[in-house]
Structure 1
Amino acid sequence: MGIEVGIMTIFRGKTVDFALAGLCSVMLLAACGGGGSSSQSAPPPVSQPGGNVWTQGQFAAASQFKDLCAAPRSGSDLNGNAFSDRAGTLSDELFWLRSWSDETYLWYNEITDRNPNGFTDRLAYFDELKTTATTASGNPRDRFHFTYDSEDWLRLTTSGASASYGARFALVASSPPRDIRVAFIEPGSPAATAGLSRGMKVITVNGVDAVNGTDTNALNAGLFPDGGGETYAFEFQRLDGTRFTTSLTSAIVTADPVNAVSVLTQNGRRYGYIHFTTFSPRTAEEALFDAFDQLQAANIDDLVLDLRYNGGGLLAIASQLSYMVAGPDRTRGRNFETLQFNNKANGINPVTGNRITPTPFYSNGQNFTVASSRSAPSVSKPRVFVLTTGRTCSASEAVMNGLRGIDVDVIQIGERTCGKPYGFYATDNCGITYFTIQFRGVNDKNFGDYADGFAPGEAPSSLGDVMPGCQISDDFGHALGDTDEALFATAIAYAETGTCPAGTVPNRKIDGPADLAQTLGHTDPALDLTRDPRIQARELAETWDARE
């Protein structure tokens, strides 16, 4: 299927086509040589007992160290594939990380080459193998560098399910006094059974004050359970100010990719609305086809695509969604996205060995859950309203960028997106799955410079934030899809008048990096509370889309 495969996860030397509920971007690069960012002359070779020899700026092939493990696994993974681990040392694992990063990392020449034998922890060493450069707004250029336990990652990517209550929490204010809200509920989940609904505020978690409390470990544990069967007591505040307590028991929940779809008429115009939450091919492909069948049959005038909590997923699904928006005439002969690797690739995909070719706009099923013989429906619109927050990321941004590349008017309503034009191949070695940025994606006009996210309003092109639209904060006082909900109401007002209504910020020009930072903020609020590296990994995982 070409360059559409999204979570190409590298397990035990095999490239496995996984798809994941709102996660991962991918790639691997297989060249040798290069070096770190140090300009000093190389010191003499260094070795330690039981270690490999390190010479600064000289790199053996990563394949020389692959699957040599200090604690090799035996048996098979949950899919029945035998582990390829062999007896090795910590030094072997660290030297594999060093060479693999030099071969594959997008900014490999900005890594300081440190002696692996000076480290006793593979995760600590991996954290050193990234650039320290910043974006135009002052954000770290690489905010997407993390690891996952391979068994947990495989379970997540295979099923599209993860442990949760079925409630997506949003941090309106991440520092005390915190404001933690229920953003939406998965149908049939423990949260739905408990009567939770959008906008409810978390007051306590197992007796810990969620608003002003300092025990963030306890809050993390309760808000983000590790597995199914974990029970925590919560106190919530309803929108009317009343409070209630309930116990929530986590379960393995599969996200419903189309959380809501509706057609409504207002002032003589028919609006199609779809709240799309994940680009997972395990669930999203058929759900999108069915939703757009409904929207196409309704002959809508405008489409409102709600991506405000969609952290990403498979690029092939993003391409299909974009085709369903734009239709056959606008997409014919055009490219959805092209991957750009580091300068060692020379036009060859280092994982597949094939020449790098653009991802087209897919106009049919890709055999995830929809057969390739089924043509995709389309509303064929020249413009689309996209509702966004800081949790709109990766494949969601690729949809916005891909549609702009073929001159579809993308009107952004809401808040700045997360800013992730990059991707990687999730790669297992010795029980840890590593994620390191290995490419970026560009649209049909060769644009992919949005590391500071897309902001609704005109911004300097050097910052990459160039979407027309209206800045407005998320509205937790109304249900998603309600025409009185602020973002949806703003989209309708803009469709009718061509301007942003009062109370929003229409097309305000941002005057520079400091202004951008002050106006839109630097951080993903979900990370401000979650300091535990395990929780950070899970939260970061929701921002990855699968790209190859």
Structure 2
Amino acid sequence: MNESSCPATKTAAKAHALPLFSLLPKRLSSLVSLCASVLLLSSCGGGGGDGGGGGTPGLISGGNNTWQAGVYKPSDNFKNYCEKPRVGASKITGIPFPDRKGNATQEKNFLRSWSYETYLWFEDLPDVNPDNSDTPQNYFRRLVSDKKTPSGSYKDNFHFYEPTESEEAWSAGITYGYGLHLKINWEVPRTIQVVYADSNSPAANNNVKRGAKIIAVDGLNISTMNANALFDALYPPQINAVHEFEIQDAGTNNTRKVILESASLPTEAVSIAKAIDHNGSKVGYIQFNTFIPDAQDQWVTAINSLKNAGVTDLVVDMRYNGGGYISIAAQVGYMIAGANTNNKVFYQNVANSKMPKEDPWGFVDVGLYGLNKSLNLPTLNLQRVYVLATEGTCSASELVINSLRGIGVSVYLIGDTTCGKPYGFLPEPNCGTTYYTIQFKAVNAKGYGEYSDGFIPSTTDNGMDRVKGCSVADNLTYQLGDSNEPLLAAALQLRATGICPTASTRGQQKVSVDVEQGELMLPPTRRLMIQDR
């Protein structure tokens, strides 16, 4: 491992069931149940429930708790005191539940104190009386800054929670569903299209491919279906859910019906890794979907394969990668750039004024998980990399871009502006719910980390938010990894000629209106940059 080494990482297995979804790039709300509902944050820090932030300061009784405006007891005083304590142990990790009998006010007192202790913008937090009628989850929704950036967007677009079991399942690489990844256009007539399907999934086994449109579910047209019922059918929160889908495959006018049964699936972090012959040399291509612990071994396999193939350049397709663990990002950076990362800073954690300053993280050159734990990682030792991106490229994905640029590795960005999330979390489980509040900002070795409006493909690189590359629309007509797929084709052309495809060239490629307007259906819980503990 490099001298600027990574902090100790989580050893407990964790992770995900995909029960709830948001649409990028809307402002996220909390997740409120296992049904597929989406709430946009329309009022943060006020309104609803008793004793809101605008109440008269005073001393209020709350069971075994007291509240006084501006006075915060240590969060440890309230942690794991639960209104409905769980019994037994997690079926994902096997760790016994720490819950003790308490009440909802204690749960809210915990959230109030913990947020004030750790939130990056704690000075913006409303002080809401926890002895009110809110559920702990709805109370947590209030504990967020409502300030806006100069561009007019909220400072905090990423405040949410999820069932702890879902968080544990995701980190453990478990997904419930059909292996479908989708885009949706809500305009009438509503359209839903497949962006890709996981290998060996129920969807793939029924030949459902990128570009297919979902026309109806269980005999009901998607345009007339209730949104909750539609989400529940598309992403069931359990296995063995059976639904009939009427689909129209890309390039056809006819529809067909398929029966899909949800299953517990291994998360496919790396879907494709291959060498492409281009202009007399070999270019590596990796479709990379999520930064979970299992991604480490999948990247090791991919890099070894590409090294054996003799690739001299690399295209990393992160157009649908919402992020994940910083430790995996630090490994990915090393496996791309190798010796160029020696003794270099991967990122610096900038927390609030109450938190002690941490040492910088270095790039990670040894395995931290799985089959390659404690083994040296392979690397391509590249001084440049081509990244395919969309608004679905978020968080830890953006961290890789920023960190490599911070040490002088040339990054070329092809596609669209990324989601804009330089912020991270230390997920906090309490009483069966895991809460995510922004606790730090990540800056690179050059001190840059203000990309809250995303990285933008540009004709020049300003070392900040504008990254040299090509602006190209995502096009579902072509399969991922196809050299003719517009983003990949643009990367290959830029590499060979230094010139992006022209507008007329792009105009020759078939792009449907609903592809351009569709938004990636991505769980808000998976737009993450998690600092491993």
Instruction: Answer yes or no: is the 8 Å Cα contact 1:339–1:442 preserved in 2.
Output: yes
**What SS does the corresponding residue of 2:523 show, helix, strand or coil?**
helix
Structure 1 counterpart of 2:288, from 266, 272, 276: 276
The 5 A counterparts of 1:168-179 are 168-171=181-184, 173-179=185-191
Instruction: Answer yes or no: is the 8 Å Cα contact 1:470–1:504 preserved in 2.
Output: no
Cα separation, 1, equivalents of 2:217 and 2:405: 43
The 5 A counterparts of 1:106-185 are 106-157=120-171, 159-171=172-184, 173-185=185-197
Structure 2 counterpart of 1:240, from 251, 260, 278: 251
**What SS does the corresponding residue of 1:278 show, helix, strand or coil?**
coil
* 2:445 aligned partner: 444
Q: Deviations for 1:173-232, whole angstroms, at most 9, x for unmatched residues?
A: 33333332111121111011111111111111222322x335212211111111111111
The 5 A counterparts of 1:256-275 are 256-275=268-287
* 2:404 aligned partner: 403
* TM-score, structure 1 normalization: 0.83
Instruction: Answer yes or no: is the 8 Å Cα contact 1:323–1:378 preserved in 2.
Output: yes
* 2:49 aligned partner: none
More moved, 135-144 vs 258-267: 135-144
**What SS does the corresponding residue of 2:161 show, helix, strand or coil?**
strand
Instruction: Answer yes or no: is the 8 Å Cα contact 2:14–2:169 preserved in 1.
Output: no
* 1:45 aligned partner: 58
Q: Cα gap change, 1:4/1:399 in structure 2, threshold over 3 Å: closer, same or farther?
A: farther
**What SS does the corresponding residue of 1:58 show, helix, strand or coil?**
coil
Q: Deviations for 1:271-300, whole angstroms, at most 9, x for unmatched residues?
A: 11111112211x211111111112222332
Cα separation, 2, equivalents of 1:94 and 1:367: 35
Gaps of 5+ in 2: 19-44, 47-52, 507-515
- 1:75 maps to 2:88: yes
Cα separation, 1, equivalents of 2:418 and 2:288: 15
How far 1:5 sits from its partner (Å)? Answer: 5.5
1:68 partner letter: Y
* 1:86 aligned partner: 100
* 1:317 aligned partner: 328
Cα separation, 2, equivalents of 1:49 and 1:333: 52
Q: Deviations for 1:52-81, whole angstroms, at most 9, x for unmatched residues?
A: 322211111111111111222222222332
Q: Cα gap change, 1:461/1:501 in structure 2, threshold over 3 Å: closer, same or farther?
A: closer
How far 1:375 sits from its partner (Å)? Answer: 2.3
Instruction: Answer yes or no: is the 8 Å Cα contact 2:292–2:324 preserved in 1.
Output: yes
1:142 partner letter: D
- 1:482 maps to 2:482: yes
**What SS does the corresponding residue of 2:176 show, helix, strand or coil?**
strand
For the aligned residue pairs, the C-alpha RMSD in angstroms reads: 2.7
How far 1:267 sits from its partner (Å)? Answer: 2.1
2:347 partner letter: E
How far 1:263 sits from its partner (Å)? Answer: 1.1
Instruction: Answer yes or no: is the 8 Å Cα contact 1:470–1:505 preserved in 2.
Output: no
1:183 partner letter: V
1:103 partner letter: E
* 1:294 aligned partner: 305
* 2:528 aligned partner: 544
Q: Cα gap change, 1:461/1:68 in structure 2, threshold over 3 Å: closer, same or farther?
A: farther
**What SS does the corresponding residue of 1:53 show, helix, strand or coil?**
strand
**What SS does the corresponding residue of 1:308 show, helix, strand or coil?**
coil
* 1:208 aligned partner: 220
Cα separation, 1, equivalents of 2:280 and 2:228: 52
Cα separation, 2, equivalents of 1:433 and 1:304: 35
Cα separation, 1, equivalents of 2:450 and 2:62: 46
Cα separation, 1, equivalents of 2:350 and 2:220: 47
How far 1:472 sits from its partner (Å)? Answer: 1.1
Cα separation, 2, equivalents of 1:176 and 1:459: 38
1:427 partner letter: E
How far 1:501 sits from its partner (Å)? Answer: 1.0
The 5 A counterparts of 1:428-507 are 428-457=429-458, 465-503=465-503
Cα separation, 2, equivalents of 1:246 and 1:102: 50
* 1:31 aligned partner: none
Instruction: Answer yes or no: is the 8 Å Cα contact 2:17–2:238 preserved in 1.
Output: no
Instruction: Answer yes or no: is the 8 Å Cα contact 1:472–1:505 preserved in 2.
Output: no
Cα separation, 2, equivalents of 1:243 and 1:266: 36
Q: Deviations for 1:241-284, whole angstroms, at most 9, x for unmatched residues?
A: 22111111111111222211111222223211111112211x21
Q: Cα gap change, 1:230/1:22 in structure 2, threshold over 3 Å: closer, same or farther?
A: closer
Q: Deviations for 1:133-167, whole angstroms, at most 9, x for unmatched residues?
A: 2234322221211111123322333x311211012
Instruction: Answer yes or no: is the 8 Å Cα contact 1:275–1:307 preserved in 2.
Output: yes
**What SS does the corresponding residue of 1:404 show, helix, strand or coil?**
helix
1:126 partner letter: F
- 1:388 maps to 2:382: no
How far 1:370 sits from its partner (Å)? Answer: 0.5
Cα separation, 2, equivalents of 1:503 and 1:204: 35
Instruction: Answer yes or no: is the 8 Å Cα contact 2:15–2:167 preserved in 1.
Output: no
Instruction: Answer yes or no: is the 8 Å Cα contact 1:133–1:140 preserved in 2.
Output: yes
Instruction: Answer yes or no: is the 8 Å Cα contact 1:42–1:55 preserved in 2.
Output: no
Q: Cα gap change, 1:314/1:89 in structure 2, threshold over 3 Å: closer, same or farther?
A: same
How far 1:49 sits from its partner (Å)? Answer: 5.9
Cα separation, 1, equivalents of 2:312 and 2:437: 42
Cα separation, 2, equivalents of 1:3 and 1:421: 18
Cα separation, 2, equivalents of 1:115 and 1:504: 59
Structure 1 counterpart of 2:373, from 371, 374, 383: 371
How far 1:376 sits from its partner (Å)? Answer: 2.0
1:90 partner letter: A
1:397 partner letter: E
Q: Cα gap change, 1:49/1:447 in structure 2, threshold over 3 Å: closer, same or farther?
A: closer
Instruction: Answer yes or no: is the 8 Å Cα contact 1:57–1:113 preserved in 2.
Output: yes
* 1:217 aligned partner: 228
* TM-score, structure 2 normalization: 0.85
Structure 2 counterpart of 1:335, from 345, 358, 364: 345
Cα separation, 2, equivalents of 1:20 and 1:504: 45
**What SS does the corresponding residue of 2:302 show, helix, strand or coil?**
helix
1:338 partner letter: Q
